[in-house]
Amino acid sequence: MRPPAIGAPLIPGLPRIYWALAALVLAGIVSVPQFRTLSNLANVLDQSSTLAILALGQAFVIAGGMIDLSVGQLVGLITVVACMLFEAFPGMTLAVVAGCLALAALIGLINGELINRLRMSPLILTFGMLSVLQGCIFMLTDRSIGQAAPSIGFLANGRILGIPVSLLLVVAVAVATWYGLQRSIFGWHLLAMGNSPDSARKAGLNLFSLTRITYLVSGLCAGLAALLVAGRLGTGFPNAGNGLELDAIVAVVLGGTPLKGGKVSVAGILGAVLFLGVLSNLLNLLQVPAFTQIVVKGLIVILAILADRPRRLAQPA
């Protein structure tokens, strides 16, 4: 029998991030008494749901060899707009939700269309869109505004048979993402584009269409995440999405998806989101300053990329 390859997971099919998650949870249980409570565990799951949905949307983009830096500010914009409309039209919750999701998807579609037409780097264009969206937010307000509808609060904080409603939403989005990326023709084509855009083009794939759909999905997921943020905060806070784009990218990379695209692991991304959620929770319980937490997350990304390099270098060309 051939020995397992160097760096192979101890249990086939189990992403490595789950071993790191198990070690982190064990360390938290041993060293931080407050971490052990069921209420704290529920808090971690609730706080992780927004990042999970945002990261699953980012997974589509990165799987295709692209990136979307605008999703954090898109979350902030939709949070503000949604709470303003919920307060102005209290009896039209479903219409407001549909309109906000449509707006988020449209902004994602605009990203994809501009990348196609201008032939610009996704990194540069979505960074520019980040600034545009941030400007739009502060044109609307520079302080918390509006009020979330009660049903949106239930979506973010409610329970069904003791299970967080937000967790059920994450499961639904994760299943749709898994099917869309790993079991559909669209997903296979997108991964082929991430592996080699030139080869995918020569094979007759419509890269423009793939790009449009990918950014539309990313925008839609940002809209869903924004509704959870609105429900959790209860108001439209203009800085609600600050830094979320980087957290989403960290989760995707840490979950085993290379930044160059061509490969994706939905299970790995969910494990990475839980890892980041538990890490943030422990750092908060230990009263570690916010800026130090940012440094820790940055170091984790660097280590994740370095850990992936030996595997990629070992693969035959």
139-143 mean pLDDT: 91
Share of the chain above pLDDT 90, in %: 62
| pLDDT value at residue 221 | 96
26-38 mean pLDDT: 86
Confidence of residue 309 (pLDDT cuts 50, 70, 90): low
Q: How many residues does the chain have?
A: 317
Q: Calculate the alpha carbon distances from 197 to 47, 177, 194, 202, 251 in Å.
A: 36, 22, 6, 9, 24
Give the span between the Cα atoms of 16 and 63, in whole angstroms: 19
Decide: 19 and 10 in contact? Cβ < 8 Å.
yes
Amino acid letter for position 265: S
Give the span between the Cα atoms of 260 and 305, in whole angstroms: 11
Residue 316 has pLDDT above 70, yes or no: no
Backbone angles phi, psi at 305, to 5 degrees: -70, -40
pLDDT tens digits, residue range 86-107? 999 988 999 999 999 999 999 9
pTM: 0.88
Q: How many CA atoms lie within 13 A of 261 on its CB side?
A: 24
Residue 4 has pLDDT above 50, yes or no: no
| pLDDT value at residue 8 | 37
Confidence of residue 296 (pLDDT cuts 50, 70, 90): confident
137-154 mean pLDDT: 92
Residue 7 has pLDDT above 70, yes or no: no
CA angle, 85 then 86 then 88, to 5°:
60
pLDDT tens digits, residue range 38-55? 888 888 888 899 999 999
Looking at the DSSP bridge assignments, the partners of residue 86 are none
Decide: 237 and 84 in contact? Cβ < 8 Å.
no
pLDDT, averaged across the chain: 88
pLDDT tens digits, residue range 216-246? 999 999 999 999 999 999 999 999 988 899 8
Going along the chain from its start, the domains and CATH numbers come out as: 17-306 (1.10.3470)
